[in-house]
Amino acid sequence: MAKEGVEKAEETEQMIEKEAGKEPAEGGGGGSHRLGDAQEMRAVVLAGFGGLNKLRVTRKAMPEPQDSELKIRVKACGLNFIDLMVRQGNIDNPPKTPLVPGFECSGIVEALGDSVKGYEIGDRVMAFVNYNAWAEVVCTPVEFVYKIPDDMSFSEAAAFPVNFVTAYMMLFEVANLREGMSVLVHSAGGGVGQAVAQLCSTIPNVTVFGTASTFKHEAIKESMTHLFDRNADYVQEVKRISPEGVDIVLDCLCGDNTGKGLSLLKPLGTYILYGSSNMVTGETKSFFSFAKSWWQVEKVNPIKLYEENKVIAGFSLLNLLFKQGRAGLIRGVVDKLIGLYNHKKIKPVVDSLWALEEVKEAMQRIHDRGNIGKLILDVEKTPTPLMANDSTETSEAGEEEEDHEGDSENKERMPFIQ
């Protein structure tokens, strides 16, 4: 049960609409709609696992906060590579469909569930959500919600939780990054890669090696000490510069990069696997890609690790939060990260903003590895007409998959530079 009455809810909604610079919605594109006593909202729905045609924007019943939950009027949502894998059903124990994807968002607190303390209606927040983030309204337990600084935009806040917490946990909690150490990070132009680079810059004399697509090098070269093409023989390039190798390897690719990463570790070095994007090659789940990636992973021999003084680890932020009950640990990390943000030491890199109706094109951009930093779903953004023609609920579930060969021109319409 929510604490506020109907009058308070309407007052809050008017405040939110005013904050957004527009009049309360009356049935157009955004905002909530009343059908009798029920309120509805727009949300991205995954109808079934598979290609981009499984995504659509539709209306759903608006959730209300349960005990210890907050109701958030969403302003922006983050897109992550794990969202592609969820769409394909390319994860362990996938949830049942239909579902609303998304694991992080930012917005304004609209209602408080019973026993919630420390928050007020109108607070600007960012949050982790166990699915359901890609919607106009979400409800999530208070332990996953964090107030954001006054000068942090909603798009920055939506780009903050997954990327920076993942980077911080791997560098400082798992690998114990210290002065004078060296780090190799794959997908250096992505959201986590850029967060890793910024956090490394807070420690003196840290050398950062990065791999990324060549076309990204000019944009990210200042954030890396050494930058290599993702398709080049980076092992030889790293050893040419640092014959002993590196102290930390952060691998989101998996496959044959596991063996390469382990071969580059110095004694007492740490290899951390935090993703497996090499398993995603086409628009839908590929058993061949999965089998190839699994086959290429070097089979780790504990005796060899013992003899070579090397450490191998894995990190999954979502499992740590939602399955292993470490929300308290993560809150402490978020507090430290917000402190770094307030001191101008770190700042989320936002690649582009997309309307909910443009979710297919946004996901294609991630699939093509075209982003530098984070892609954001801006809930209040008006879709570009050429891009929103298929993401709304206007066709049958069995529609044919789209041809995305001509998307590149449209994608370039969405740059967001801070």
**pLDDT, one tens digit for every residue, the chain (418 residues):** 444 443 444 444 444 444 434 333 333 345 555 544 569 999 999 999 999 999 999 999 999 999 999 999 999 999 999 999 999 988 888 899 999 999 999 999 999 999 999 999 999 999 999 999 999 999 999 999 999 999 999 999 999 999 999 999 999 999 999 999 999 999 999 999 999 999 999 999 999 999 999 999 999 999 999 999 988 899 999 999 999 999 999 999 877 888 899 999 999 999 999 987 655 545 554 454 444 445 455 677 889 899 999 999 999 999 999 999 999 999 999 999 999 999 999 999 999 999 999 999 999 998 888 899 999 999 999 998 755 444 444 333 333 333 333 333 333 334 433 3
Q: Classify the C-alpha dihedral 175-141-158-204 as positive or negative.
A: negative
| Domain count within the chain | 1
Whether residue 77 contacts residue 104, with contact meaning beta carbons closer than 8 Å, is answered with yes
Residue ranges of the alpha helices (H) in 81-233?
A: 81-88, 154-158, 161-168, 191-200, 217-220
Closest by CA to 194, choosing from 250, 237, 268, is: 250
Q: What integer pLDDT is reported at residue 149 of this predicted model?
A: 97
Residue 224, domain member (yes or no): yes
Six-digit token string for 26: 């009356």
Residue 276, domain member (yes or no): yes
Residue 322 CA to its chain's centroid (Å): 15
DSSP class of residue 181?
Answer: -
Closest by CA to 222, choosing from 194, 249, 203, is: 194
Return the C-alpha torsion angle 189, 248, 310, 317, nearest 10.
Answer: -70
Position 387: which residue type? M
From residue 232, how far is each of 59, 163, 350, 393 by CA, in Å? 46, 26, 27, 43
Residue 215, domain member (yes or no): yes
Pairing of strands 145-147, 207-212: unpaired
Locate the DSSP E strands across 132-238.
Answer: 137-141, 145-147, 182-185, 207-212, 226-229
What own/partner pairs with CB < 8 Å and gap ≥ 24 does 322-326 have? 322/128, 322/130
Q: What integer pLDDT is reported at residue 412 of this predicted model?
A: 38
Residue 48, domain member (yes or no): no
Predicted structure pTM score: 0.82
Q: Domain range spanning residue 265?
A: 162-339
Closest by CA to 101, choosing from 385, 356, 384, is: 356
Residue 49, domain member (yes or no): no
Residue 12, domain member (yes or no): no
Q: What integer pLDDT is reported at residue 379 of this predicted model?
A: 97
CATH number of the domain within which 319 lies: 3.40.50.720
Residue 5, domain member (yes or no): no
Residue 82, domain member (yes or no): no
Phi, psi (deg, nearest 5) at residue 106: -140, 155
